Amino acid sequence: MAHSSASAGDSPPPSSPDTTQNNLQHFFVLHKASEKLTCNGKARKRLDLSPTKLKPEKKEWDERCLRMEAFQLVWSGIDSTIKDVLRNMNARVFNDIHSWVRDSFNTNTIKPFPPPSPIVTHQLFTALLLTKNMEFVDDFLTFQELGLFLKSHGCHVANLSSFDFSPKNGIAGCLASLLRQFLMRTFDAADMSILASWYSQQGNYGSPVVVIINHMEQCCGPVLSDFILMLSEWIVKIPVILIMGVATTLDAPSNILPSNVLKKLRPCKFTLGSPAERMDAVVEAALVRQCSGFAVGQKVAIFLRNYFLNQDGTLTAFFRALKIACVQHFSTEPLSFMLGQLLAKEDSKGFQSEKMVKGASEILLHARDQMAEQTDIPIAHCLTELKRLQMVWSSIVLCLYEAGKCGKIQLLDLFCETLDPDIYTSLASDNPTGIGESLATSLSSDRYMLEQDLSFQKGQTICQVVRKVRDLPAALLCQLLKSWDVLTVDVPEIHDKVKELQALLKFEGGSCKPDFTDISRRHTSHSPLKIGKSQSINGKAAILVDCMVRYFMRPIECIQCHEIVCFRNVEKLQSALIGDSRKRIQVDLLEFHKILRCSCCSRSGNIPLSSMPDTSIVYTLAQEHGDLINLHDWFQSFKTIASQPSRKGECKLKQSPLPKRRKDVNESENKSEASIQARFCRAITELQITGLIRMPSKKRRDSVQRVAFGL
Partner 1 sequence: MEMNDGDNEEFGFSRNYFLAKELRGSGKRSHSKLSDIDVVDEQELIAAASKIEPKHEKEVKELMNSYKSSYSEWAFELRCGLGLLMYGFGSKKALLEDFASTSLTEYSVVVVNGYLPGINIKQVVAALAELLWDQLKSKRKNPGSSSKVQQPFSSRSMDDLLAFLDEDRTNECFVCVVIHNIDGPGLRDSETQQVLARVASCSHICMVASIDHVNAPLLWDKKMVHTQFNWCWHHVPTFAPYKVEGMLIPLILAHGNTTQSAKSATIVLQSLTSNAQSVFKVLGEYQLSHSNEEGMPVDNLYASCRERFLVSSQLTLNSHLTEFKDHELVKTKRNSDGQDCLHIPLTNEALEKLIAELSQ
Nearest to 431 by CA among 447, 443, 442: 442
406 or 628, CB closer to partner 1? 628
Q: How far apart are the C-alpha atoms of 192 and 457, rounded to whole Å?
A: 64
Q: Could you give the CA distance from residue 76 to residue 61 in angstroms, rounded to a whole number? A: 22
CB nearer to partner 1: pick between 530 and 682: 682
Q: What is the nearest approach in angstroms of partner 1 to the Cβ of residue 305?
A: 11
Name the packing angle between helices 614-622 and 662-690 (round to 10°). Answer: 70
* For partner 1, the closer CB: 95 or 581: 581
Query: Minimum Å distance from CB 123 to partner 1?
Result: 32
User: Which of these, 466, 499, 467, 289, lies nearest to 395 by C-alpha position?
Assistant: 289
Q: How far is the CB of 679 from partner 1 (least distance, A)?
A: 6
Considering the rule CB under 8 A, would residue 110 count as an interface residue with partner 1? Answer: no
710 binds partner 1 (CB under 8 A): yes
Q: How far is the CB of 448 from partner 1 (least distance, A)?
A: 30
- Is 456 a binder of partner 1 (CB under 8 A)? no
Question: Minimum distance between the CB of residue 146 and partner 1, rounded to whole angstroms?
Answer: 17
**Shortest distance, position 274 Cβ to partner 1, whole Å:** 18
Question: Which C-beta is closer to partner 1: that of 163 or that of 234?
Answer: 163
Q: How many residues bind partner 1 (CB under 8 A)?
A: 114
Cis peptide before 114 (omega within 30 of 0): yes
Burial 183-206 (b: 16+ CB within 10 A, else e): eeeeeeebebebbeebbeeeeeee
- Which CB atom, from 248 or from 575, has the smaller least distance to partner 1? 575
507 makes contact with partner 1 (CB under 8 A): no
Residues 134-173 that bind partner 1 (CB under 8 A): 135-137, 140, 163
Least distance between partner 1 and beta carbon 192 (Å): 19
Contacts 24+ apart (CB under 8 A), 299-306: 299/568, 299/570, 300/325, 300/567, 300/568, 300/569, 300/570, 300/573, 301/415, 301/416, 301/419, 302/416, 302/570, 303/570, 303/573, 303/574, 305/412, 305/413, 305/415, 305/416
Parallel/antiparallel/unpaired status of strands 156-160 and 295-296: unpaired
Binding to partner 1 (CB under 8 A) within 403-422 occurs at: none
Segment 70-89, which members bind partner 1 (CB under 8 A)? 71, 75
Cα separation, 610 vs 598, in Å, equals 13
Q: How far apart are CA 221 and CA 431, in angstroms?
A: 68
CB of 579 to partner 1, least distance (A): 3
Least distance to partner 1, CB of residue 193, Å: 21
CA–CA separation, 104 vs 210, rounded Å?
11
| Binding residues among 33-62 for partner 1 as defined by CB under 8 A | 33-36, 38-40, 43
Subset of residues 184 to 213 that bind partner 1, contact rule: CB under 8 A: 186
Q: Does 706 bind partner 1 (CB under 8 A)?
A: yes
CA-to-CA distance for 619 and 612, rounded, in angstroms? Answer: 11
Among 270, 319, 415, 567, binds partner 1 (CB under 8 A): 319
Q: x-or-dash pattern for partner 1, window 542-581, by CB under 8 A?
A: ---------------------------------xxxxx-x
- The packing angle between helices 537-547 and 460-470, to 10°, is 160
Query: Interface with partner 1 includes 673 (CB under 8 A)?
Result: yes
Residue 582 near partner 1 by CB under 8 A: yes
Please select the residue that binds partner 1; options are 126, 290, 292, 314, rule is CB under 8 A.
314
Residue 356's CB is within 10 A of a number of other CB atoms, namely: 22
Which CB atom, from 356 or from 617, has the smaller least distance to partner 1? 617
The least distance separating partner 1 from the CB of residue 326, rounded to whole angstroms, comes to: 8
How many whole angstroms separate alpha carbon 593 and alpha carbon 605?
A: 10
Site string for partner 1, 10-29 (x = CB under 8 A): ----x-------xxxxxxxx
Half-sphere exposure of 339 (CA within 13 A, CB side): 32
* 309 binds partner 1, rule: CB under 8 A: no
Strands 628-630 and 703-706: antiparallel
- Our CA angle for 686, 688, 694, nearest 5°, is 155
Given the complex with partner 1, which of 137 and 651 has the nearer CB atom?
A: 137
- Is there a contact between 584 and 593 (Cβ–Cβ < 8 Å)? no
Long-range contacts (CB closer than 8 Å, 24 or more residues apart) made by 349-355: 351/380, 351/383, 352/380, 352/383, 355/48, 355/49, 355/50
667 binds partner 1 (CB under 8 A): no
Give Dmax (Cα) for the chain: 119
Identity of the residue, 74 or 398, whose beta carbon is nearer to partner 1 in the bound complex: 74
Interface region with partner 1, contact rule CB under 8 A, candidates 228-236, 290-298, 312-320, 480-488: 312-320
Under rule CB under 8 A, residue 638 binds partner 1: no
Q: Are 337 and 67 within 8 A, CB to CB?
A: yes
What are 242's strand-pairing partners? 126, 211
CB atoms near residue 615 (< 10 Å): 21
**Shortest separation between residue 711's beta carbon and partner 1, angstroms:** 8
Tell whether residue 633 is a contact of partner 1 (CB under 8 A): yes
Q: Does 32 bind partner 1 (CB under 8 A)?
A: yes
Question: Considering the complex, what minimum distance in angstroms separates the CB of residue 173 from partner 1?
Answer: 11
Integer Rg of the chain from CA: 35
Q: Which of 323, 387, 458, 506 binds partner 1 (CB under 8 A)?
A: 323
Give me the sign of the Cα torsion angle 273, 275, 279, 282: positive
Cα(29)–Cα(22) distance, integer angstroms: 9
Nearest-approach distance from CB 211 to partner 1, in angstroms: 17
Which of 626, 664, 665, 667 forms a contact with partner 1 (CB under 8 A)?
A: 626
91 binds partner 1 (CB under 8 A): no
* Region binding partner 1 by CB under 8 A among candidate stretches 244-252, 255-263, 461-469, 679-687: 679-687
Stretch that binds partner 1, among 322-330, 347-355, 375-383, 523-531 (CB under 8 A): 322-330
Sign of CA dihedral 193, 198, 202, 208: negative
Minimum distance from CB of 23 to partner 1 (Å)? 5
Q: Which of 664, 678, 694, 697 binds partner 1 (CB under 8 A)?
A: 678
630 near partner 1, judged by CB under 8 A: yes
336 binds partner 1 (CB under 8 A): no
